[in-house]
Amino acid sequence: MAQIHPTALVDPAAELDATVTVGPFTIIGPHVKIGAGTTIGAHCLIEGHTTIGRDNRIFQFTSLGSVNQDKKYAGEPCELIIGDRNTIREYSTYHIGTVQGGGVTRLGNDNWMMAYTHLAHDCVVGDHTIFANNTQLAGHVQVGDWVIFGGFSAVHQFVRVGAHAMTAMCSMVVADVPPFVMAQGHPAQARSMNFEGLRRRGFSPDRITAVKRMHKALYRDDLTLEQAGERIAGLAKDTPDAEQDVRLMLDFLGGVNAHRGIVR
C-alpha cells in the first residue's frame, strides 16, 4: 500500500504505486494515476484526468489537474500529464487541456519548477527546464528542452520558447523566443545568446561559434527572416558538428505553429 497520511483523502479509484507517499490533508481524485517513488506534500489537490510519473517531488499547497480557465471549456475529459523526476514547489497550479488545443497539458522530465509557477491549458513543456518563482504560462505555450525562465516571467498565449533559450527576471514574452536566445524586457527583446548555458551543457567551441553566427544573422546584420534562414542553413556545411543546432533553429523559424513572430 502507498504511504498515505490518515488525514489525506484519496479516492479508492485513484491508482497510486505502492511506493507513493501522500502528506496530510491532501486530496486525490478518482482519475489520478501516480507512479513509483513520487512524494506528495501536505494540503495538495490533485484531481481531473491527471497522470504523474516516477520519482517526482510535489511540495505542499500545489494544485494539479483542475479545470482550466478557458471559458470555452465544457467539461470534456481533458488531461494533465507529468513525466518523471520533476520538482514542483509550493502553490504551483497546472491545469488540464482543452479539446481545441489537443486535450492535454504536458510537463516532461527532470524539470525544476519553483514556487507559484503556472501552466495554463494545453501548454507543452519539454525536459530539463527551470521555471523560477512566479513564472506564468498562458494557454497553448510551447517550451523546449533546457529553457530557463527568470522569476516573474510571463508568457503570452500561443508563444513558443525554443530549446536552450533563457529569459531574464520580470520579462513579458509576447513573441516567440528562438532556440539559444536570451530575452529580457517588457516586452521582451533578444539581448544575446545563452552561451554560458551551452558551455555548461558540453557544447563544443565550434558549436558555440555557429550559434554566435546564427545570432549575427538574426539580429545584427539587418537581414529579413528569410535571408537570415538562408544564411543559417549554410552553417551546417561550414560546421558539421553544428548540424543538429542549425536544424533546431530552422525547424523553429519555419514552425507550423508559429503565430506570434519572434522577439527582435
Q: Which residues are catalytic?
A: 121-122, 139
Distance CA 110, CA 137 (A): 18
* Burial (CB count within 10 angstroms: exposed 0-12, middle 13-18, buried 19+), residue 189: middle
Q: 147, 129 in Cβ contact below 8 A?
A: yes
Q: 93, 111 in Cβ contact below 8 A?
A: no
Looking at residue 262, its amino acid is I
Q: 18, 1 in Cβ contact below 8 A?
A: yes
Looking at residue 152, its amino acid is F
Cα–Cα–Cα angle for 113, 119, 122, rounded to 5 degrees: 135
